[in-house]
């Protein structure tokens, strides 16, 4: 009898997550004997010992807010791209070692390519955490040479965001200028912030496209307002699915048919 392998999502206050339903459906569709659950550890309890106890029998796990950067200190190995980004969202347990990867990058690239932007000059990233670092690296790789990183305190890691301007939201709203792409990497628009936008509607008027990494709800207030204005808008659901397929490929060694699986899985959220 084949043993069902365990996987999960590490984070704090993550009851909202679609990931268990998504991954368990993926396992079913692809004939994989696996089970996926939440690993919800409060910030004040997060430590190597606590995490080890939770995932002792796991073959791998994903990582979300607020541990994408903190997990780096617990890993035995980190692949080159994840190390460059400075954040990990996928961990493979292999021969007693934890190996970290960043499949969010793959998901974001898939999402970005759907925009078909004519210009790739300047961009604004809202947030300065692990997701923002991934987006910054992706935009640099795509050829954006004018990037602003926005945080509430202007306390972003300038040693990482070396070629970006680190500003606060007051500066962003005061210095409005035409921008090709706005990317929301904050939780504003989900959970208790569901009726909140990270920026004003007036600021959106100066943008050609918006990507909101939030996937629950599938359409945030930011996305709705941007759509009303008539600019290109994408949410994080496709990114969630594609990064999950890449993670499963790392865990299981199965080559996933991204487009076939994506289309089937999108039906879960309609």
Which of the residues are catalytic?
68
Distance CA 269, CA 18 (A): 9
Class of residue 19 by CB neighbours under 10 A (exposed 0-12, middle 13-18, buried 19+): buried
SS3 content of the chain, % helix, strand, coil (to 5): 40, 25, 35
Quick check: bond before 66 cis, omega within 30? yes
Phi-psi region of 12 (alpha: psi -120 to 50; beta: other; left: phi over 0): beta
Chain centre to alpha carbon of residue 108: 8
Q: Which residues pair with 39 in a beta bridge?
A: 10
């Amino acid at each position: 009898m084949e043993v069902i392998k365990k996987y999960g999502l590490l984070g704090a206050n993550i009851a909202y997550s679609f990931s268990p339903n998504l991954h368990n459906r993926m396992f079913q569709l692809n004939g994989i004997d696996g089970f996926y659950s939440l690993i919800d550890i409060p910030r004040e309890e997060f430590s190597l010992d606590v995490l080890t106890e939770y995932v002792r029998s796991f073959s791998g796990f994903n990582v979300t807010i607020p541990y994408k950067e903190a997990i780096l200190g617990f890993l035995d190995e980190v692949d080159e791209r994840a190390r460059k980004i400075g954040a990990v969202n996928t961990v493979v347990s292999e021969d007693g070692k934890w190996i970290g990867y960043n499949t969010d990058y793959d998901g974001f690239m898939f999402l970005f390519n759907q925009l078909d932007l004519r210009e790739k000059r300047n961009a604004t990233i809202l947030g300065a955490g692990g997701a923002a670092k991934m987006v910054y690296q992706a935009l640099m790789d795509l050829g954006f040479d004018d990037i602003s990183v926005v945080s509430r305190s202007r306390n972003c890691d300038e040693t990482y965001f070396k070629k970006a301007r680190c500003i606060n939201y007051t500066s962003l709203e005061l210095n409005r200028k035409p921008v090709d792409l706005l990317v929301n990497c904050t939780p504003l628009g989900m959970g208790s912030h569901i009726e909140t936008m990270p920026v004003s509607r007036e600021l959106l008027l100066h943008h050609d496209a918006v990507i909101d990494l939030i996937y629950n709800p599938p359409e945030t207030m930011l996305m709705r307002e941007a759509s009303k204005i008539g600019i290109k808008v994408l949410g994080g659901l496709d990114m969630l699915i594609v990064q999950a397929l890449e993670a499963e490929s790392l865990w299981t060694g199965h080559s996933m048919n991204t487009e076939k699986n994506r289309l089937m899985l999108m039906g879960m959220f309609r």
